[in-house]
Every structure is written in C-alpha cells, then in structure tokens.
Structure 1
Amino acid sequence: MAQSTVQGVPARIPKGSATVKIFFYTSIFYLLASMVLGLVVALKSVNPEFLTSNRFLQEYFTYGRLRPTHTNTALIGWLTSVYFGVMYYGVPALCKRQLWSEKIGMFTAVLWNINYIAGAISILAGYQTGVEYAELPLLFDIVVVICVGLTFWNLIQTTRHRQEKILYVSMWYWLGSILNLAIVYIIGNLPVAWIGSGSIQMGYYYFYLHNIIGLWFTVVGVGTIYYLLPKLVQRPIYSHKLSLIGFWMIVAFYSWNGPHHLVNGPIPVWLMKAGIIPSILLLIPVWSVLANIIGTMKGVWYKVSQNLALKFLITGALFYGLACIQGPFQSLMGPHAILHFTYWTVGHAHMPLFGGFSFVAFSAVYYMLPRLTYRHIYSRALMNWHYWLSVIGFLIFAFAMWTAGIIQGFEWMDGKQLGSAFLQMLESLHIFLISRAVGGSLMFLGQIAFAWNVWRSVKAGQLVTADDPILVSR
C-alpha cells in the first residue's frame, strides 16, 4: 500500500487502498446501471410498448430479463461491492494496520467485477436459474463464493495480526456478515435438482431470499453504522454491550424468517408460525440498534443539519428501522393475505435495500473517500441534491407502490381476479405506476449527482493539509 505523499503527513498514514478504490468506483458504476435498468422496467410497466421497436429490443429488453438483471446489479453489483470496499477500509483501520494482502485484495476486486459483468450479460441473454435474487448461472456462483472466501481470508488474517487488542463491535458485524454471506449464498445457489420441487423448493429458496438481506446486508450495514456514527459525532457509541446483544439476536432470529413469505401458502401451519414468531422477535435487535443510535446522538442532534454524511447515515438507520417494523407486520396472517403478491412488496423490498443500506453506504463513501484520496468532497451542494432527490424520489416511489398494493389486495379479496373486473382494477393502478416512474427518475437523478460528485472529488477535490482533521481519524 502506497504511503502518503502529502507534505507534513506522517509516513505511517497510508495513501489509500487500491482494493477499496476498485470496489468503490465500480460499485458506483453498478449503482447507475441498476438505476437505468429499474427505470426502464418502471417505464415499461406504464407503457408496455416502450423499447419494442425492433427484434433485438423485443428479445433482450423484456421484463423477464431486465428485472432480474436490475435486482442482481443492485444487490451484487452495487451493494455487495460497496460494502466489500467498506470492510476492506474499516477492518484495517480498526486493527490499526494495513490490509494483510493488498495483492489478494486487488485480485479479488478484479475477479469479482469480471465475473459479475459476464454474469449480468448472461442473465440479459436469457441464461438464468429463475430463482429470485439467485438468477446467476452456477459457473458465476462458484466465482462469487471464491471471491467471498478470499475476502474473508484476507480480513481474518488482518484481524489475526492486528495491533489493537480490543475487537470493536463493527468487527463482529463485518466478519460475521462475510461468513453469513458465504453460507447463505452457497445454500441458496445449489442446483435445483439437488433440492426437490414444489413447496420444498420454495421453502428452501426463501431461506436464501430473506437471509441474503437479513444475514448479509443487515449485518454488514449495521456494522457500518456502528463504525461511522462515533466518528461523525465524535463521541463513543452509547452501549457496546447493547450492540453485541443486537448482533447475537440477529444471528438467533433472522435465519428463521424465510417461511413468513409462504404464509397462507401450501406449507404446514406450524411452519408458517415458525416464520412469523421470529419475525416479530426481530424487533429486539432492531430496537437495540435504534436505542444505541438515539443514546449516542443525545445532545448532538444538531450535527445532523451540519454534517451531510451524518444526515445520510441517520436517514438510512431510520428507513432500516421502519422496514423492520413493516416486515413483522406484513408477516402476520391477516395482513399477509391482503398484501402478498401485490405491488406492496415492491415498495417494501426497496426500503431496506435503497432507503436503508444504500443510504448507509452513501454515508460511508462520503466519509471514507477523502481518507483514501486525500481530497475533500468536491461539492456540498451536490451532496444535498443527492440526498433530497434520493429521499423525495424514494418516498414517491414507495408510497405509490404501497397504496397500489393495498388497493390490489382488497380488490382481489372482493373477487376481481378474472375477466373485465381484473382489467378494470389494473387500469385503476396506472396512476401509481406513473408515480413509481416519476419517483424512480428522481432517484436516478440523485445517483447521477452522487457519481459526478465522487468523480470530481477524485479529480479536482481540494487537497487536504497536513493538519487536516481527517488525518486524525480513519
């Protein structure tokens, strides 16, 4: 890892990990790509004739190819890549040493990106498994697991040779999350022939569908909150013990939540209850996170208006909390009977992934990038545009989907599932699909502001001085 070249900066302070930079920069490319794909899907929902002018568009720009490419690019391309970058930055910082092997890290980053780009192209070409969030063909899954294994080995070796004796709570979350990712991804991507068919297969895959969010994005995202919050408010976390309680509660309860997606479906009632009860118990770790944030912020809430990275972080934590209240509610048999298979689930799925952990990732990039490049963020105004376009766009998107889902559910319960009544119900939802496209457009504009700000920060951001505060805390 290259050493600092800024005059007056101690030589022990690293210039910045190339591994982190690769993951950060490529993740932003995937963020924009996923936004474009999602916006095209939203526009085709408004006008199915959109992008159907020739045979090529008709074959490759269908919903069945665009939607899984969008979700995989958002989850694997954007979120997983950016959080790999966060861990490759944060683990060495908390261990007070450099990354164990920068060469392995760079090899992992390059292999990861080559593999995902090829995998995304294969999905667009029609080669996919058909399993939600796990559409990548087996060959690409194997490379994903190899990259996850290399990352875990690199980070665990960095931890093993650390100079800091105490393991801060973020280390627990980050190392636990990468181990969770390996286990969940392997289980969720086993070939269909090995599992069986029907409800057995669905129960198996819903373990993956729910826990790629619960045991990977949730754990790594909460660990990032615990890393950033004390640094952004310049005070220690309220309760280290409470944070560890939350960690073990997530491990204990989250893995059981898959069956709540099949409530009122063709599975035994006891299995439905086995999914509902842990879903409700998840309020314990969620509250431990929120209580820790509230306790840490006591007396310094005014800093949210002054520090935009902190504003992104607190907003992300708020959306995470709301998503985890919404989840247990809709897992109950009554609400689930109305809301399942409707547009409601589209709004709900985007709240933790975009409103929650993407906002936390934005905060991480804004905090870490100046410490990687020794250049300040280029424009505070662009940060504000990024924040407000993302928040307003997401709220328009989400409320449109939630409202449409409630209407759908009650209309279906009234028997409007076939014939002209079904078509009439669909026509009544058209305004909500337009609203989704409007909200998605604002979200996309926000990410353009984000990407441009990052680009300009790297190329033209103000250079830090030797006495700059960012050199004190990594």
Structure 2
Amino acid sequence: MTSAQTEISEVDSTARFPLSLLLAFAVLWALAGGALALLNYAQTLDPALLADCALLTYGRVRGMQETALVYGWAGNAGFAVALWLLGRLSGAPLRSLNWVVVGTLFWNFGVALAIGGIAGGHGTSIVLLRMPAYVQWFLLAAFAAIAVPGVLAWTGRAHKPMFAAQWYAVAALFLFPWLFSAAHVMLVVAPLRGVLQPVAEAWFAQSLWTLWMAPVALAAAYYLVPKITGRAIPSYDFAGLGFWTLLVIGAWTGGRHLIGGPVPAWIATIGIVACAVLTFHYLVVAINLSGAFRRSGFTLKFVAFGVAAYVLGGFADAVLSLRSVAEVTQFTWMSQAQSQLALLGAFSMIVTGAIYFLVPRIANQPWVSTPLIRAHYAAAVIGVIALVGGLAAAGIVQGRDLNNAAVALVDIATHTRPWLLVAAAGQALLLVGNLVLAAHLVRLWTTKPETPAAELIREPHAMEASAS
C-alpha cells in the first residue's frame, strides 16, 4: 500500500455516508440562509418590500436567516468537521454512526420546523435563540445523538495524551448542550425577570460563539495547519493556556453588549475587562497558527483568511468594548459587522477549508475542478470584506449621526444607505460562492472518477503523533 493510499483511511471510508449527509444539509442551509440574509438587506434598503406578507416581514426574515445560518449551516458543518477530526485523531474508525444519521435527520427537521415556526409568528425575540420553544428540546435531543460517536472516539482514543484539535472539538461537544439547555430554562421555560433577562441573553449570545462555534473552527485549524505544512505548531506549549483562557474568560465577555444599558455598571465593566484579558487567547492563536500564512494551497488559503478574521475580530471586540468607543458604535450596524466577521469571516472560512480537505478523503475521489475552488475562494473573500466593511462603515456613520441631535432619523438612513448597499453586494457574493460549492459537491458526488483520490492525494505529514 502506498503512502497516498494510507491517507484514505478506514476512518474516512466508514464515516462516508453520515458525514456526507451532514455536509449536504450544511450547504443547503447555507444557501437558504444566504438567500434570506440577502432578502433581509433588501428590506432594510426598501422597508416596503414584502411588508404586506406576514410570513416574510423584516423581523421574521431576520430570525429565519439567523437560524438557518447558525443552526443549519454552522451546526451541520461543525458536526461533520468535529466528528471527522475526533475519528482521525482517535486512531480507530468512528463507532455507532447510525446515531449520527438519525440525529442528523432529526436535527435538520428541527431546523426546518424552527424556521417554519418563526415564519408563522411563533418565534422568540432572543438573539440566536429565535426558534419556537417547542423546537428547542427537540434540537437538544438530536445534538446528543449526533455527538455519540464523537464522545466514543474521544474516550476510546488510542493515544491518551490529547492534542489541541481534540481539546477544542471535545469542548464544543460538551459545552453546547449546557449552553442551550441553560438558556432554554432561563429565557423560555422560567424566564428571568427584570435586569437579569438581558444579562442572560447577552451571556448566551456571546457564549454560543466563544464556547461552541469558535472551538469547532479552532479544532479544524489546529489540525489542518500542521497536517498540511508538515511543521509542528510554534510555541505549542502556550496552546493549552490559550484554550483555557477561551473557556474560562470567553463567556464573561457578554457584558460588553450591555454598555449603556439599564443594568448595573459593574456587569459591563466585567465584560470590558474580559475582552481585554481574552486578547491573550487571540495572540496565542495567531502565533500557533502563523504557519497557515506561509504555504499555498486552497485549504490553507481558506484557513488563513479565517484565522486572520478570528484574531482581528477578537482585537476589535476589545477596542469596541471601551466605553469611549461604545458611545459611538453601540446599538449600531457595527454589532452586525462583528457578528458577521465571526460567523462568516472566521468560522465559515476555516470550516470551508476543512470541508475542501476532508471531502476527497471520505468520498475517495478528488475535486472535479480547481477553477471552481478558486472562484469560491475569491467570492468568499471579497464577499466577507464587502459585507463586514460595509456594515462597519454604516455603523460608524450611524453612531456619529445618532450622537448629533441636529441629524434627523431620515437623514441617518440616507447616510447609511450606500454602505448598506455595499454590504448587500457582499452578501450576494457570499451566496454565489456557496452556490459554487454546492454545484461542485453535486458534481463530485454524481461523477464517477477515472482515478480514485487515494492515488492522487499526497499524504500530508503525519503530524497527529507530534502535534495536532
């Protein structure tokens, strides 16, 4: 057996169907969420658009696109990447994969039910938890089923010492059900009263990023960078400190969303301090994953852009949480720029790079067209820059005008309109990129290859044994 053939391992072949199912749903939801997001920006620019259609009013479309992108795209893609990594690093094929298939079907039925419920007016006003209450426990049960093989791979791993990629993947699997169930109880079943409610909402919205989506993306990055470059992670001893800094401090940064709000000032102060402390984590990530910027290849290009966006977003959070800055940027489009940089710039780019790496291995056939991958990368990079840049500029203009009593609200909308057009164009480019990825996946899954991937893929250096 050649070294290239060993790269297509039993871990990949046994998990082919469930992982492909997860990725298929992920791309479908990315397309649906992107289309809804584009419609949402169109409604922002033209408030009369679909105003008479109750199912597609601005608020409901906002909740639908948020649910599709976070729980549809990020959820399914995150599951696929985390399970594949844990299987690879465990040294044995994933077990109990029937749980993944059943859980995937129920998870995506739940996401569809959630979006339908939001359209029907049964959603909540809670950011990142806008789905109806009757769907939330359903998703939690589906998550538990999907996570079973990942937990078994972690507990039954051949090498007891864990790598950084495993730390982050396992943390994401265990922390999501805690976050989701706690938020469901505190905000839906027995909602907190008074000032505690916005505090809990801010905690959940921030924790869903720092303790679930970010760890999944970092797990992929910490695996792919040394795997592809063939070099151990620099300053790897600090990776553990960066990991625990994220887990311990990450959730405390939610208070920054409450600056100037009707809450005790110390809560916002804790959030500001936590953002400053968390810059240590971002600095460690930047040093550890600097190798992504030194090699070519489409996988590393996606990962490098995602890592840059992740680090940039972390330092931007620290700056924007300062009270003097928040006086201008708080409650403006800037908050949307931050969230889109995190979800579409950091998470999506890193996970997309992982998808381009793992799909040929689980399908045992190479990608059909390199130009399509280049087109996707170009559309994604330009789209993210335009989207985030447009929203950030709109936020600065909006904040400046809101602090000027002489500027009328109508004038504020006029001043932000050009930048929102730029953001809408960026969202359209991201949708085009996802369409390219979907078409490429369909071609790969429906075309019988002349040469199996095992004979074409050069096996990257086996860095699992020395650094993840």
Do structure 1's residue 242 and structure 2's residue 242 form an aligned pair? Answer: no
Residues 324-374 of structure 1, C-alpha deviations (whole Å, 9 max, x = no match): 011111111111111111111111110011011100011011000000101
Do structure 1's residue 125 and structure 2's residue 120 form an aligned pair? Answer: yes
Residues 12-42 of structure 1, C-alpha deviations (whole Å, 9 max, x = no match): 5652412211111110000000000000011
> 2:453, 2:136 → 1: CA distance?
45
Give the counterpart of 1:438 among 418, 422, 425.
425
Report the 3-state secondary structure (helix = DSSP H, G, I; strand = E; otherwise coil) of the residue aligned with 1:15. helix
> 2:417, 2:229 → 1: CA distance?
44
Do structure 1's residue 164 and structure 2's residue 159 form an aligned pair? Answer: yes
Q: Given that residues 11 and 92 in structure 2 are in contact (C-alpha distance below 8 angstroms), is that contact kept between their aligned partners in structure 1?
A: no
Distance 1:148 1:388, change over 3 A: same
Distance 1:255 1:452, change over 3 A: same
Q: Given that residues 100 and 154 in structure 1 are in contact (C-alpha distance below 8 angstroms), is that contact kept between their aligned partners in structure 2?
A: yes
Q: 1:328-339 alignment to 2 at 5 Å?
A: 328-339=318-329
> 1:101, 1:193 → 2: CA distance?
33
Matched with 2:26 is 27
Structure 1 runs of 4+ aligned residues shifted over 4 Å read: 6-14, 470-474
> 2:12, 2:247 → 1: CA distance?
34
Give the counterpart of 1:317 among 285, 293, 307.
307
Distance 1:21 1:193, change over 3 A: closer
Matched with 2:13 is 15
Matched with 2:173 is 178
Q: 1:6-405 alignment to 2 at 5 Å?
A: 12=10, 14-17=12-15, 18-51=17-50, 58-190=53-185, 191-192=187-188, 194-294=190-290, 296=291, 301=294, 303-304=295-296, 307-405=297-395
Calculate the aligned-residue CA RMSD, in Å: 2.2
Q: Given that residues 11 and 93 in structure 2 are in contact (C-alpha distance below 8 angstroms), is that contact kept between their aligned partners in structure 1?
A: no
Structure 1 counterpart of 2:366, one-letter code: H
Distance 1:7 1:354, change over 3 A: closer
Q: Given that residues 36 and 61 in structure 2 are in contact (C-alpha distance below 8 angstroms), is that contact kept between their aligned partners in structure 1?
A: yes
Could you tell me the percent identity over the aligned residues?
Answer: 21
C-alpha deviation, 1:316, in angstroms: 0.4
Structure 2 counterpart of 1:331, one-letter code: S
Report the 3-state secondary structure (helix = DSSP H, G, I; strand = E; otherwise coil) of the residue aligned with 2:289. helix
Structure 2 counterpart of 1:274, one-letter code: I
Residues 184-216 of structure 1, C-alpha deviations (whole Å, 9 max, x = no match): 111222244623333210001111011101111
> 1:66, 1:462 → 2: CA distance?
44
Distance 1:44 1:156, change over 3 A: same
Report the 3-state secondary structure (helix = DSSP H, G, I; strand = E; otherwise coil) of the residue aligned with 2:13. coil
C-alpha deviation, 1:260, in angstroms: 1.0
> 1:391, 1:466 → 2: CA distance?
30
C-alpha deviation, 1:429, in angstroms: 1.8
C-alpha deviation, 1:427, in angstroms: 1.6
| Structure 1 unaligned blocks of 5 or more | 1-5
Q: Given that residues 104 and 146 in structure 2 are in contact (C-alpha distance below 8 angstroms), is that contact kept between their aligned partners in structure 1?
A: no
> 1:19, 1:13 → 2: CA distance?
12
The two structures have a TM-score, normalised by structure 2, of: 0.92
Structure 2 counterpart of 1:229, one-letter code: V
Structure 2 counterpart of 1:392, one-letter code: I
Q: Given that residues 275 and 321 in structure 2 are in contact (C-alpha distance below 8 angstroms), is that contact kept between their aligned partners in structure 1?
A: yes
- The aligned length equals 456
Distance 1:462 1:212, change over 3 A: farther
C-alpha deviation, 1:459, in angstroms: 2.0
Q: Given that residues 307 and 350 in structure 2 are in contact (C-alpha distance below 8 angstroms), is that contact kept between their aligned partners in structure 1?
A: yes
> 1:16, 1:368 → 2: CA distance?
13
The two structures have a TM-score, normalised by structure 1, of: 0.91
Matched with 1:458 is 445
